């Protein structure tokens, strides 16, 4: 799953430790010690897309140290939890990010009456949505699609008409459904099942060892059979499951060089490109899959989901209608169609 570009602000932090001291000698010693990272924290507060890839490991550690002290001093400091989760998410520490976003959610009231809902939204709504959305993104990065969907469903319970969240949900439904349906054709036996303990990218430690061993076997087989498209394809599937998308893409490309007519390889290349944040290239790969086999439900559904995210709603509608032509009872496709029709109606008004 990728983050849709949008203008978005966290609520302004009101803690005095984030502000310039205006009296006395000016800046206290603690703030002076952390002065070089204050601007980064403030940038993260105002821009969820603010990059951290150019920051040093030492700087990241200083940011987290600062935030951890703020949280230690006040466990209900919602914004500190949110910024900590954002830093961990952007630096690839997804399990830690999930814990931080859960920490933020724990600072917000759980019981909400209908009479007080409007007040609750004004006080907590922005932070609540942000925490759950990025928690879902982190879960998705770990391959825990069902849990990610549950997090987004919590947003939908408060904001039932939210096109961005609905778009993310339809893509997650697709990924979850692919996990269950790939075994029907050209799918390795190593594809994982959900696990709830000792997870690494949504996979238990025992399963992780199994898939790592599978990769070693594939590499061994490829040494003697470097032109075996199926082995490359199966290797790509396992790498995709492990969240190693760049390597998965390379494996699918190698498979397609040998067997360019395999529709499923094109389809899963499209899924991989989407996970790498390359939706236009993903669409081209899905189109290739559908040229080879126009009756792949998942390829039509994925195409519709990506087009919806790109706000190309009429094209998205055509794609999802083709998916429903293949399976007119699929709940996810029906939900996506309804969401697209709603968006088209808004655009006409």
Report residue 61's pLDDT band, with 50, 70 and 90 as the boundaries.
confident
pLDDT, position 164: 78
Three-class DSSP category at 203: strand
pTM of structure: 0.47
Question: How confident is the model over 64-94, as pLDDT tens digits?
Answer: 888 899 899 999 998 889 989 988 988 888 8
Q: At what angle do helices 78-90 and 117-141 cross, to 10 degrees?
A: 20
Question: How confident is the model over 100-128, as pLDDT tens digits?
Answer: 999 999 998 876 777 778 888 888 888 89
pLDDT, position 173: 66
| More confident site: 10 or 227 | 227
Question: How confident is the model over 240-277, as pLDDT tens digits?
Answer: 878 888 999 999 999 999 999 998 899 989 989 988 88
81, 104 contact by CB (below 8 A): yes
Mean pLDDT, the chain, integer: 77
Of 121, 141, 161, the residue that ends a domain is 141
Q: Which domain holds residue 93?
A: 16-141
| Number of domains, the chain | 2
For residues 259 and 334, membership in a common domain is answered with yes
320, 171 contact by CB (below 8 A): no
For residues 113 and 181, membership in a common domain is answered with no
pLDDT, position 12: 38
Could you tell me how far CA 162 lies from the centroid of its own chain? Answer: 17
Domain assignment present for 340: yes
| More confident site: 326 or 193 | 326
44, 83 contact by CB (below 8 A): yes
pLDDT, position 309: 87
For residues 113 and 205, membership in a common domain is answered with no
Q: What is the CATH number of the domain that holds 37?
A: 1.25.40
- Look at residues 34, 32, 141 and name the one whose alpha carbon lies nearest to residue 85: 141
Question: How confident is the model over 127-142, as pLDDT tens digits?
Answer: 899 999 999 988 877 7
For residues 109 and 199, membership in a common domain is answered with no
Nearest 5°: the CA angle 298, 237, 257 is: 90
Report residue 207's pLDDT band, with 50, 70 and 90 as the boundaries.
low
223, 253 contact by CB (below 8 A): no
């Amino acid at each position: 799953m990728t983050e849709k570009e949008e203008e978005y602000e966290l609520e302004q932090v009101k803690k005095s430790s984030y502000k310039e001291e205006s009296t006395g000698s000016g800046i206290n010693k603690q703030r002076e010690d952390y002065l070089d990272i204050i601007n980064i924290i403030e940038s993260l507060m105002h821009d969820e897309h603010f990059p951290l890839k150019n920051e040093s490991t030492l700087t990241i550690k200083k940011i987290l140290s600062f935030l951890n002290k703020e949280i230690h001093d006040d466990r209900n400091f919602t914004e500190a939890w949110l910024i900590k989760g954002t830093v961990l998410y952007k630096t690839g520490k997804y399990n830690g990010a999930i814990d931080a976003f859960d920490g933020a959610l724990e600072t917000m009231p759980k019981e909400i009456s209908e009479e007080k809902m409007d007040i609750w939204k004004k006080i907590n709504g922005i932070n609540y949505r942000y925490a759950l959305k990025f928690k879902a993104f982190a879960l998705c990065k770990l391959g825990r699609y069902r849990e990610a969907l549950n997090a987004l469903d919590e947003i939908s319970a408060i904001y039932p008409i939210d096109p961005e969240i609905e778009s993310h949900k339809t893509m997650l439904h697709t990924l979850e459904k692919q996990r269950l349906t790939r075994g029907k054709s050209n799918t390795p036996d190593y594809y994982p099942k959900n696990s709830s303990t000792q997870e690494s990218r949504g996979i238990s430690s025992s399963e992780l060892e199994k898939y790592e061993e599978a990769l070693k076997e594939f590499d061994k087989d490829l040494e003697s059979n470097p032109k075996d498209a199926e082995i490359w394809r199966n290797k790509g599937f396992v790498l995709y499951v492990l969240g190693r998308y760049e390597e998965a893409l390379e494996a699918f490309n190698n498979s397609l060089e040998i067997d360019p007519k395999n529709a499923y390889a094109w389809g899963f290349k499209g899924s991989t490109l989407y996970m790498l944040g390359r939706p236009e290239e993903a669409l081209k790969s899905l189109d290739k899959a559908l040229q080879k086999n126009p009756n792949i439900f998942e390829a039509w559904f994925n195409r519709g989901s990506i087009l919806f995210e790109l706000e190309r709603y009429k094209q998205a509608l055509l794609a999802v209608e083709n998916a429903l032509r293949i399976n007119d009872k699929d709940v996810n496709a029906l939900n996506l169609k309804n969401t697209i029709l709603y968006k088209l109606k808004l655009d006409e008004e």
